[in-house]
Amino acid sequence: MYWEKDGYILRPARAEDAYYEQNYCPLDRETARMTGCREEFTKEEVLAFFRQSLADDERVFFLILSPDGRIIGKRYQ
């Protein structure tokens, strides 16, 4: 199950999607400020959160991918 528009894709996250360098190394300062989280996380913290999110039966974890395949966003329901 996924949605596509103009080459952008919204689909459920998978274990092989786990990432760190692309979005968390370090987290954008303005993003951290606006979301109330800290600017730096260890790779272990990020990957553990990713795995925990996938395993949570109460949560649906989606990724937004750009036309070139980069992860540009995420959404939890």
3-state secondary structure 7-67: CEEEEECCHHHCCCHHHHCCCCHHHHHHHCCCCCCCHHHHHHHHHHHHHCCCCCEEEEECC
Single pTM value for the model: 0.68
pLDDT band (50, 70, 90) for residue 55: very high
- Please state, in angstroms and rounded to a whole number, the distance separating the CA atoms of residues 5 and 24: 26
pLDDT digits (tens, 9 = 90+) for 63-76: 899 999 888 877 77
Q: For all residues of the chain together, what is the average pLDDT?
A: 83
